[in-house]
Amino acid sequence: MRAFFDTNIVIYSFVQNDGTKSDIARRTLQRWQDDGGAVISTQVLNETLYNAIRKHKFTREAARDVLVALCELPVVELTTDLVKKAADVAVETQLTIYDTLMIVAAGLAGCDRIFTEDLNHGQIVRGVRIVNPFREDTETT
């Protein structure tokens, strides 16, 4: 099994002293990474770098180190075909293009779930289940 990780979960896993969300995100990402099933995309890499510096005040060096660590995971590259498919899904579902880029990338990587706090927990889009790992009723394995 493989799972796609949204930027917000990735960021929480690297932010120190953010309480429960950081702990849950870190454990969830580590568990899937240890099993070889954690997947991200170039979109997540870009958003993580931007948010680490702008929102979480990482130094550029610290943000680069996070990016280098993340590049050890399988990374789905955004292509024009992926963007076109995501645009179709955005029209079909009324989700944002950013969300559908993740959904399509997850599907292409063979992921059966996306860990995120930004979409509707339990919803299934194009065969990919949305999982909010911060809900008490969520199984993250």
Per DSSP, the residues of 71-116 read: TTS-EEPP-HHHHHHHHHHHHHH---HHHHHHHHHHHHTT-SEEE-
CATH homologous superfamily for the domain 3-131: 5'-nuclease (3.40.50.1010)
pLDDT at site 139? 65
- Report which residue type is found at 131: V
Measured between alpha carbons, how far is 80 from 23 in angstroms, rounded to an integer? 36
Strand partners, 125: 128
Report the candidate in 25, 28, 31 with the shortest Cα–Cα distance to residue 11: 25
Q: What is the mean pLDDT of each run of 10 residues along the chain (141 residues)?
A: 95 82 93 94 96 93 94 96 97 95 97 95 95 81 57
pLDDT at site 19? 73
pLDDT at site 141? 57
Residue 105: half-sphere exposure toward Cβ, Cα within 13 Å = 26
Per-residue tokens: 115: 């860990």
